Amino acid sequence: MAQIKAVTRLSKNVYRLTVAAPEIAAKHQPGQFIILRLDKNGERIPLTIADKDTAAGTIDLIVQAVGKTTHQLVSLKAGEDILDLAGPLGLPTRIEKLGTVVMLGGGVGTAPLYPIAKGFQQAGNKIITILGARNKDLLVLPEEFAALSDELLLMTDDGSLGEKGLVTHALQKLIDQKIEIKKVVAIGPLIMMKFVAELTRKYKIPTVVSLNSLMIDGTGMCGGCRVRVGAETKFTCVHGPEFDGHLVDFDALLKRANTYKTAEKDSLNKYLEASP
């Protein structure tokens, strides 16, 4: 059992849950994730740890309510329990002092990006952060990123906050300014990461992407998170979740990403219809 200590709404359908997990908080490193199950009949879902407080023995999970389980999760209150919480899982981010590192987050992908950005900042790098979302209400953690970034660029599809446009537009401007970017770390929707990788490939800028959204059981046994990386087949949960963005076969991933959408939608609708 893991008790929820606090629930905070960050934006529309996006919540921060502070959960008691002292052993995970003590061992967690940037880039790693947990697997949780709400009850004995619940599904296992992966969530990346957005922050931790080792003194308090807590971890922060940022959750967007999009499916049945995430809707159930954000409906819980402080004092209630999560049945199973396993982690930290996955390989941690390789953090080193490089120079200028661009952190690029899309939507809720901003959450797992935060501890990675903090790690690179503490290692002595210059941090330029680009955050993007469909509108201002869907931007996550802009104040937190502003506090640790040397420069913060906000992009919204509708122009409701920051500049109107895509995160790749902001990245292209940085490249055009002849800024010597040593690495790009991109986390967000698959289509966003694909186009970021295509852009940086042209300029030979090393790029890391996180594929945590593909994971199911988190142990490599189910094979549901397999991904083609260069000439090899990898499992996101045990070999990742981070990979060289220039080697990932995003086209295959985008096709597979729609496999369970109908079933997921039906499950959510049944849950919502049965809810009081």
For residue 62, say whether it is annotated as part of any ligand binding site: yes
- What tokens were used for 105? 């987050």
- What tokens were used for 241? 């979740």
For residue 172, say whether it is annotated as part of any ligand binding site: no
What gap in Å lies between CA 106 and CA 188, rounded to an integer?
4
For residue 225, say whether it is annotated as part of any ligand binding site: yes
Return the H-helix or E-strand segment holding 118: helix 110-122
HSE of 81, CA atoms in CB hemisphere, 13 A: 6
Instruction: Return the SS3 of 87.
Output: strand
For residue 121, say whether it is annotated as part of any ligand binding site: no
Instruction: Find residue 169's DSSP bridge partners.
Output: none
Instruction: Find residue 233's DSSP bridge partners.
Output: 228
For residue 216, say whether it is annotated as part of any ligand binding site: no
Amino acid making up residue 234 = K
Amino acid making up residue 231 = A
For residue 95, say whether it is annotated as part of any ligand binding site: no
Cα dihedral 157, 146, 75, 37 in deg (nearest 10): 100
What gap in Å lies between CA 47 and CA 34, rounded to an integer?
5
Q: Alpha-carbon Rg of the chain, whole angstroms? A: 18
- Starting at the earlier edge strand, list the strands of the sheet with 14-20: 81-82, 2-11, 14-20, 58-64, 45-53, 33-37, 84-89
- What tokens were used for 75? 């409906």
What gap in Å lies between CA 58 and CA 51, rounded to an integer?
9
Residues flagged as binding site for [2Fe-2S] cluster: 222, 225, 237
Which positions make up the binding site for FAD? 62-64
Known binding-site positions: 62-64, 222, 225, 237
